Amino acid sequence: MKAALEAWLLRRWYGGVAPGPGLRLLELVYRGLRRLHALPWWLGLRKPRRAGAPVLVVGNLVAGGAGKTPLVIALATELAHRGFTPGIVSRGHGRRGSDDLDVRRDTPPEVCGDEPLLIARQTGLRVRVARDRAAAAAALVAAGCDLVIADDGLQHRPLHRDLEIEVLDGERRHGNGRLIPAGPLREPAGRAVDFRVVNGGQAGAGEWAMQLVPGDARPLAGGAPRPLGAFAPGPVHAVAGIGNPARFFATLGAAGLQVHGHAFPDHHAFRRAELAFSPPLPLLMTSKDAVKCTGLGLPDAWEVPVRAELPAAFFDAVADRLRPRKPTP
């Protein structure tokens, strides 16, 4: 049911189907509620809380994924190479429970969320999940971080930020340009940000192009990696519980694989039975899905990691903007 509703909405957001009067009415309601929620901040009755170190927010204006997590991983890694000690804060979307916690490599994904666990494993840096992201950011600074990267949070007003980066799907962009639920936008597309990163497609003036480059496939059961091209011509099964599953399937197709794609909702909690596809073939999945499937005992299942590739000048520009705000020892 959820998948069918999502597909129905996506056709209206990105597929050229005009939203009906019901969706347009709900869009007006959403717009009004959004303005009401923002009113105390506009009047100065509530103020964002500072973390004690610069805060870099990476997010999107649209609902759904656009490649935000690979960019967070790349930023954390590159800024660490440029002299920062980053920590990452996240809400931990899709997790059970609401306790604040530090994410470690062995933290169960259902406790911390799939994206924070993936970030912790790939960066080796401090990652903290919390409903109160301002408090989590302050905790990271108290633990020795001199930079906080917020994984998502452009719309999270309680956390003061020094820089904002919008990640934009280069094919979908802002869709039909309408607010939820008539369109994909959480807030108007004209909203100013410090950097706009375009994942795939064509980057426009003032935008930075990003490509997600796949690496060798890794067996979930352990063992030697295997080049993606070694699975060609296929066929293979592929699963993706991410914001845009078609992008992952297209990546595999571009590597010469015949793909039987199985799309799931973003942050889906997989069960072994729903991955028992017929006929039995190699099963390829994203890293975000692999952190949830490693313990399912799946035969011939492989993680396909991706790396966010951007010009070095982008990371230099971000570092240059952050460095004057870095706390002195």
- Same domain, yes or no: 76 and 198: yes
Q: Give the pLDDT confidence score for residue 1 in this predicted structure.
A: 62
- Same domain, yes or no: 137 and 222: no
Domain span including residue 274: 216-304
Residue 257 located in a structural domain: yes
| DSSP letter, residue 89 | E
Q: Where are the beta strands (DSSP E) in 19-139?
A: 55-59, 86-90, 101-102, 126-129
- Same domain, yes or no: 237 and 178: no
Residue 12 located in a structural domain: no
Chain mean pLDDT for the chain: 91
- Same domain, yes or no: 134 and 152: yes
Q: Can you give the CATH number for the domain in which 198 is found?
A: 3.40.50.300
Residue 92 located in a structural domain: yes
- Same domain, yes or no: 121 and 200: yes
Residue 273 located in a structural domain: yes
Q: Give the pLDDT confidence score for residue 100 in this predicted structure.
A: 86
The answer to whether 255 and 229 are in contact (CB under 8 A) is yes
- Same domain, yes or no: 68 and 174: yes
- Same domain, yes or no: 134 and 207: yes
Residue 37 located in a structural domain: no
- Same domain, yes or no: 93 and 158: yes
> Between vectors from CA 153 to CA 147 and to CA 154, what angle results, nearest 5°?
105
Comparing 15 with 75, the larger pLDDT belongs to: 75
Total domain count for the chain? 2
Mark 299-329 as b/e (b = at least 16 C-beta within 10 Å): eebbbbbbebebeeebbeebbeebeeeeeee
Residue 232 located in a structural domain: yes
- Same domain, yes or no: 188 and 228: no
Of all residues in the chain, the percent with pLDDT exceeding 90 is: 64
- Same domain, yes or no: 243 and 277: yes
- Same domain, yes or no: 114 and 88: yes
pLDDT tens-digit map of 13-39? 998 889 999 999 999 999 999 999 999
Global confidence as pTM? 0.91
Q: Give the pLDDT confidence score for residue 95 in this predicted structure.
A: 80
